[in-house]
A and B are shown apart, each in its own frame.
Chain A
């Protein structure tokens, strides 16, 4: 049952992500991993300026998009504070401990044909699907 499939937008959006990753490598010589960039802000040093600028651009993107687009982009976060706090903790712990997230491992790691990233991606994707299934179809909310 495919209901919300948006192949064109997905392909174009994905292409932009890939472009950003390629530009980041060509300009700054690094993996474009968002979790790594956030981690490099803690604690703030001289090396934090670059990642901070990138993250500022990332944060500005939806705002700019909404200024220019006839259809504004909206996010829906449907989770209580408790779940948000636990999820945030797990994402923070997991991305630093596992050395990457969906951008670092999922995009850049795969682009480098990194076995570590391919394995990590399969693990965190499978885990996310499992947790989603349990919370939606077993626990029921």
Chain B
């Protein structure tokens, strides 16, 4: 049952990406390309998403536990460390190169959009690469910059 619910929530998420157009890199580029015919749609989508999520979080996080899990598993880190900043910069560079981020990439799998057979495995390789990160780089990443 939980898996069915997971699927349904994923479906809603995917529909959000489709209806907002954010699953289409061309739409995303409309926002990212400041010097082009600028399209602020992404800002509206994100603002709407955050607004609904804020309200939803207020309702859901007030409870003692989630409906289908033993407890909440939330990020606890608060420090702005180098890992966050460098990671975000690297992700941003990748996002800017093709306008594809993880959500739209998964949508591409469903649509079998040409090109995803290159992007997605590369993304998995990148993720795995960080996992086997040598200790020195990990230590670098946890340095506090601010």
Question: Which residues of A are at the interface with B, using a C-beta cutoff of 8 A?
Answer: 1-7, 9-32, 34-35, 38-39, 42, 49-51, 53-66, 73-79, 81, 83-99, 101-103, 105-108, 110-112, 114-116, 119-121, 123-133, 135-137
A63 touches B97 (CB 8 A): no
Can you list 21 pairs linking A and B with CB atoms under 8 Å apart? A11-B48, A14-B45, A23-B12, A26-B56, A34-B106, A54-B9, A59-B107, A60-B7, A60-B110, A73-B24, A77-B98, A77-B113, A77-B116, A83-B97, A85-B122, A94-B92, A111-B53, A116-B78, A128-B32, A128-B96, A135-B96
B46 touches A22 (CB 8 A): no
Number of A-B pairs, beta carbon distance below 8 Å: 484
Question: Which residues of B are at the interface with A, using a C-beta cutoff of 8 A?
Answer: 2-27, 29-30, 32-42, 44-57, 59-61, 63, 65-69, 71-75, 77-80, 83-111, 113-116, 118-131, 133, 141
A94 touches B48 (CB 8 A): no
Whether A38 touches B124, Cβ cut-off 8 Å, given contacts A27-B66, A55-B106, A99-B87, is yes
Query: Could you tell me the dominant secondary structure of chain B's interface residues?
Result: helix
B10 touches A57 (CB 8 A): yes
A57 touches B11 (CB 8 A): yes
A91 touches B95 (CB 8 A): yes
Q: Which residues of B contact A61 (CB under 8 A)?
A: 10-15, 17-18, 107, 110
A58 touches B11 (CB 8 A): yes
Whether A129 touches B129, Cβ cut-off 8 Å, given contacts A59-B109, A91-B101, A107-B53, is no
Query: Could you tell me the dominant secondary structure of chain A's interface residues?
Result: helix
Q: Which residues of B contact A64 (CB under 8 A)?
A: 11, 15
Query: Smallest CB-CB separation from A83: which chain B residue?
Result: B97
Q: How far is the CB of B126 from chain A (nearest CB, A)?
A: 2
A53 touches B14 (CB 8 A): no
> Bound complex: CA of A66 vs CA of B97, how far in Å?
27
A13 touches B12 (CB 8 A): no
Identify 18 new A-B residue pairs, CB closer than 8 A, beyond the known A31-B75, A75-B23: A4-B41, A17-B13, A18-B50, A18-B52, A54-B9, A56-B7, A57-B6, A59-B109, A59-B110, A87-B95, A93-B87, A93-B94, A95-B101, A95-B102, A103-B102, A115-B78, A119-B85, A124-B88
